[in-house]
Amino acid sequence: MRLSLFSLTTALAVVAAMVTPTRPVSAATLAEAENEYYELATVPIPDGVVLEAGAIQHFGDHRLAVSTRLGDIYFVDGAYGKNLAPANVKFTRFASGLHEVLGLTTRGDGWFYITQRGEVSRLKDTNGDDRADLFETICDRWDINGDYHEYAFGSKFDRDGNIWVVLCLTGSFTSESEFRGWCLRVTPDGKAIPTCSGLRSPGGVATNHLGDMFYTDNQGPWNGTCWLKHLKPGGFMGNPQGNKWYGLAPNLGPRPADPKSGSRIDVEWKNVPELVPPAVAFPYQRMGQSASGIQNDFTGGKFGPFTNQLFVGDQTWSTVMRVSLEQVDGVYQGATFPFREGMDSGTLSLEMCEDGSLFVGGTDRGWGARGGKPFALQRLRWTGKPVFEIQTMHVLPDGFEVTFTEPVDPATAAKPESYQLDTYTYVYRAEYGSPEVDPTHPPIKSVVVAKDGRSVKLSSDLVVGHVHELKLAGVRSQDGRPLLHPIGYYWLNVIPHGEQR
């Protein structure tokens, strides 16, 4: 959801007053506590460089390429170093005059492949002076008409060499240009393949560790909150505004039936078979307000105990969230957890690097952001200090199995009163957003602590099509520490071996 600056400031003040996170007593703020485990370093940006980082790509010998919403691409040297003094960081402008570059990747062939507002292009430096001198259009199959919201986010290459482009609706409400509200795959030879319909306002697109593609969609019409959604080829993502273009997508068959406004997602999933239910909900003003860039932790432990999980930005709250996914009967669902706050600007782009660095690009243009600065480039690294966190939430036929990054104290973990479970959902409707509705408060019936202390099984009632908000305020580690973030939000589509659609 996008707000005016006045209403945004008011909303953030209310939320800040309501949220009092658990943290070590030595830390004055949650961000300071988080910094003990995931250290945040700021890359200095030279005067005159407006680095509203739309996309980031690591390449070569510890170099970054960073694109901007203003249409520049910079090479950044020195961003991996211990000392990020201005004298140790160098910016070189590789290209300029482009149009809102929100996708950037390379495959080691000397070309940089970019997603601009109106096309996928490629750029090359042919004479070795770190300046692009060859520009080629790869694909410009979709239309633009000058509307501010007509963003085009592009992925890295998938396993088949395709770039996935997710296209925001016109004004984020309607589809006045061809394929607005769609995902297209752009093949290596420049062919555009219509892949999914039903998008509203994407903020990022990336694969998980299995190679399946996901995007973030933001609260608004047909989106009760912000979501992480699986781009299943042939799928309908839930907003029917762009479905008028099915006549241009013969590979996908007939247009899906429109969902019924005012219903619920799990109900309409039964009525509209093409509908792909969201994989994860980011509860509005609990986790953020503008879900954005996505990156998978492929580093095998260099970024801490979250290998193969996804990290997702939030532009309004200037944060990075964490997502643990699973599939039940072939349907994605899972949980999101707070991870790191305190970014200098609105988190937009993320880039995970082989050494375990997560670079975070920020901008507050268009909408305010908690960070306060107009743009930023920052780096997160695991300090190596063991962090006590929820690692995963797995759904069971009668509750959840929760795993932890460190062994728990069995006395506190075994108490049902150490936990609180609440569920709620959103109205699936054409109007903007939704309140939280249909709440339930299922009790924790029993707790079983694993012998190694690394997991617990919680027995409780489950509700399909609901967020399951689990608080673990009473759980302690073996050495008496509280969880750094004692809360998780699991979105449930399918109960294993239970009632299904």
pLDDT tens per residue, range 98-136: 999 999 999 989 999 999 999 999 999 999 999 999 999
Residue type, 215: Y
Residue ranges and CATH numbers for the domains of the chain are 5-382 (2.120.10.30), 390-492 (2.60.40.1220)
Summarize pLDDT for 176-211 with one digit per residue, the tens.
Answer: 999 999 999 999 999 999 999 999 999 999 999 999
pLDDT at 23: 45
CA distance 144 to 169: 10
* Residue pointed to by tokens 């219903």: 263
SS (H, E, C) 239-265: CHHHHHHHHHCHHHCCCCCCCCCCECH
In the chain, what percentage of residues exceed pLDDT 70?
94
Q: What is the pLDDT of residue 498?
A: 60
The phi and psi torsions of 161 (rounded to 5 degrees) equal: 85, 15
Q: Six-digit token pair at 302?
A: 């260099």
Residue linked to tokens 């000397």? 110
Joined together, the tokens standing for residue 376 give 């930023």
Q: Is residue 6 pLDDT above 50, yes or no?
A: no
Torsion of CA 338, 212, 114, 309, to 10 degrees: 30
349-397 confidence digits (pLDDT tens): 999 999 999 999 999 987 789 999 999 999 999 999 999 999 999 999 9
CA–CA dist 58, 54 (Å, integer): 14
Both structure tokens of 428? 């699936």
Percent of the chain at pLDDT > 90 equals 91
- pTM for this model (two decimals): 0.94
The reported pLDDT for the residue numbered 27 is: 63
pLDDT band at 81 (very low <50, low <70, confident <90, very high): very high
Look over the chain and give the mean of its residue pLDDT values, rounded to a whole number: 93
**What does the CA dihedral 460, 496, 288, 41 come to, rounded to 10 degrees?**
110
Give me the mean pLDDT over the 424-428 stretch: 98
Q: What is the mean pLDDT of residues 332-360?
A: 98
Write out pLDDT tens, residues 225-238. Answer: 999 999 999 999 99
Confidence of residue 5 (pLDDT cuts 50, 70, 90): very low
Judge whether residue 499 has pLDDT over 60: no
Burial of 318 per CB tally in 10 Å (0-12, 13-18, 19+)? buried
Cβ neighbour number for residue 49 with a 10 Å cutoff: 15
Tell me the pLDDT tens digit for each residue of 8-57: 333 333 333 333 344 444 567 999 999 999 999 999 999 999 999 999 99
